[in-house]
Amino acid sequence: MISLLQQTAPVVVEQTETVTITESADAAGHAADAAHAAAAAHGAESAAGMPQLDISTFGNQIFWLLVTLAVLYWVLSRIALPRIGGVLSDRQGAITGDLMAAEEFKQKAKEAEAAYDKALADARAEANKIVAANKAEIQKELDKAIAKADAEIAARTAESEKRIGEIRTSAVEDARSVARDVTEELVRTFGGTSDQALVNEAVDQRLKGALQ
Amino acid sequence: MAAAEEEVGGLVFHPMDQFIVKPLFGDGPISWYTPTNAMLWMALSALAVIALLVFGTRGRAIVPSRSQSIAELTYGMVRKMVEDITGKEGLKYFPYVMTLFCFILFANALALLPMSFSPTSQIAVTAVLAFMVFFFVTILGFVKNGSHFLGLFWVSSAPAAMRPVLAIIELISYFVRPVSHSIRLAGNIMAGHAVMKVFAAFAAVVALAPVSILAIVGVYALEVLVVTIQAYVFTILTCVYLKDALHPGH
């Protein structure tokens, strides 16, 4: 751009013949200024050199720049930045709050889990206790029933033995009386005198060894 | 007006016409209060900033809308920049830095619209911006640190014999700051726009038109980048100067 400026500046000076050229930007600015004036006079707009160096527009630009910056600074520092800062800190607060709530819920869940485990263990213990109690009761009843059955069996056995004994004694008696009768009859048949008492004694004597 | 135009092989180049400050109404002389195209585009930039940062955030939503997201990203970026470079005490000047960044970014960006005017290509505008920073920072430095602020120029970590020499160099570099600060911005924007205009003039030749149009697309893409980078650079340098004022000494 500087080379362009240096190329055009002398031409401008030739045309306008108002300033002498020096190396300083100030002079170049004047040259551009003059060229601008010339352009305005011709009713056409065209840049000579760098329009940025046209000092006649500086006041205008600086004034409006300061106005713009002042307005912008006021709006940003009073409205925009506090608002955005507030939103950001609100969000930070919300996130922190949510994290804390999550931590709390986690703790609650842990507590609930512990309570559940405890309830489960309690129920299990209770069930074991009930099972044990039932078992003991059943055992007791079972023992009672067994004892009762044993007693009954013993009683029946005794009765049976008694009856067997009775049967046996009656059988012995029957055998004895049959033996006496048969012996008496035999004695009579062979023509002997039947002495009842003698026969009985002889039969008893013989049976003593057999029916015991 | 043959003097102001350069005619090369029948082509008419007016690469600098876009930088002329014109009155909006009529073409009388320009006095300080005349509404000009410079005023119009500065005002549009300010309105665009306000539209984004004020109307874009009017929902104040916890879950942000798109415009609110952009506003928050801009806010967060500039605020982080100020805090990272100048420290906590620099946050007091965050609205000022934010104003500069937003104004320059939007003035640069709106200048990329066809037929627009680019206020940031004007040395008068960038010089005012840069000198405002320069004077603000210098005064702030003396107010905050008194004569200790001069320690900025006295490099105590250097060998004693070198210090006066370094002091002169530091002093010169300090006073060159506003110049480089302003010319960097204006120069970048002006160069990009002028190059686009030159390529646009070539588009009148049928044989060159495709190349010219491709070149304009390329330069335009580059300018989109430059627009953002220059706003960023201007802002980050402002922060660096602010840091020097708040914490002089190396």
Tens-digit pLDDT profile for residues A137-155: 999 999 999 999 999 999 9
Interchain contact A48–B (C-beta under 8 A): yes
Instruction: Report how far residue B78's alpha carbon sits from residue B72's, in angstroms, rounded to the nearest whole number.
Output: 10
Question: Which of A13, A72, A89, A90 has the highest number of chain B CBs within 10 A, making it the mutation to test binding with B?
Answer: A72
Q: What local confidence, expressed as pLDDT, does residue A176 receive?
A: 83
Check whether A136 has a pLDDT greater than 70.
Answer: yes
Helix runs in chain A, H state only? 2-16, 25-42, 58-75, 81-189, 196-210
Cα A70 to the center of its chain, rounded Å:
61
The Cα-based distances of B129 to B46, B85, B99, B100, B190 in angstroms read 15, 20, 11, 8, 16
Interchain contact A31–B (C-beta under 8 A): no
Domain boundary assignment for chain A: 1-53, 162-210
Interchain contact A74–B (C-beta under 8 A): no
Spell out the long-range contacts of B224-228 with Cβ–Cβ below 8 A and sequence spacing 24 or more. B224/B109, B224/B112, B226/B108, B226/B188, B226/B189, B226/B192, B227/B105, B227/B108, B227/B109, B227/B111, B227/B112, B227/B189, B228/B105, B228/B108, B228/B109
CB contacts of B182 in chain A (<8 Å) are none
Contact A40 B27 (CB under 8 A): yes
Q: What local confidence, expressed as pLDDT, does residue B49 receive?
A: 95
> Which has the closest alpha carbon to B48: B23, B76, B67?
B67
Check whether A204 has a pLDDT greater than 70.
Answer: yes
The more confident residue out of B154 and A17 is B154
Q: Measured between CB atoms, which of A12, A47, A90 is closest to B16?
A: A47
CB contacts of A63 in chain B (<8 Å) are 32-33
Calculate mean pLDDT across residues A77-93.
92
Contact A73 B95 (CB under 8 A): yes
Count how many pairs of residues, chain A against chain B, have C-beta atoms within 8 Å: 167
Which amino acid belongs to residue A6? Q
Token pair belonging to A68 = 């713009």
Instruction: Report how far residue B214's alpha carbon sits from residue B195's, in angstroms, rounded to the nearest whole number.
Output: 13
**Confidence class for position A46, pLDDT limits 50, 70, 90:** low
pLDDT digits over B21-74, tens only? 888 887 778 888 888 999 999 999 999 999 999 998 888 888 888 999 999 999
Indicate the Cα dihedral angle A44, A45, A48, A52, nearest 10°.
160
The SS3 of residue A35 is: helix
Domain boundary assignment for chain B: 37-246
The more confident residue out of A196 and B169 is B169
> Which has the closest alpha carbon to B110: B54, B67, B47, B56?
B47
Nearest-Cα distance to chain B for A129, in Å, is: 57
Give the bridge partners for B12, in sequence order.
B7
The Cα-based distances of B96 to A78, B45, B109, B118 in angstroms read 12, 16, 20, 22
The SS3 of residue B13 is: strand
CB contacts of A86 in chain B (<8 Å) are 60
Instruction: Report how far residue A7's alpha carbon sits from residue A3's, in angstroms, rounded to the nearest whole number.
Output: 6
Calculate mean pLDDT across residues A23-49.
46
pLDDT digits over A150-186, tens only? 999 999 999 999 999 999 999 888 888 888 888 888 8
CB contacts of B16 in chain A (<8 Å) are 4, 47, 49-51
> Which has the closest alpha carbon to A48: A62, A23, A28?
A28
Give the bridge partners for B7, in sequence order.
B12
Q: Measured between CB atoms, which of A12, A51, A62 is closest to B20?
A: A51
Most distant CA atoms of chain A, gap in Å: 209
Which element (helix H / strand E) includes B164? Answer: helix B163-202
- Do the interacting molecules here have an ipTM over 0.90? no
Q: Which of A22-31, A80-89, A135-144 has the lowest mean pLDDT?
A: A22-31
Give the bridge partners for B6, in sequence order.
B13
The Cα-based distances of A144 to A37, A118, A139, A141, A150 in angstroms read 135, 39, 8, 5, 10
Q: Nearest residue on chain B to A35, judged by CA atoms?
A: B4
Contact A56 B30 (CB under 8 A): yes
Q: Measured between CB atoms, which of A35, A49, A75 is closest to B50?
A: A75
Q: Measured between CB atoms, which of B5, B57, B129 is closest to A80?
A: B57
Distance between start and end Cα atoms, chain B: 55
The more confident residue out of B190 and A197 is B190
The SS3 of residue B8 is: strand
Counting as low any pLDDT under 70, the low residues of chain B are 1-10, 249-250
Which element (helix H / strand E) includes B76? Answer: helix B66-86
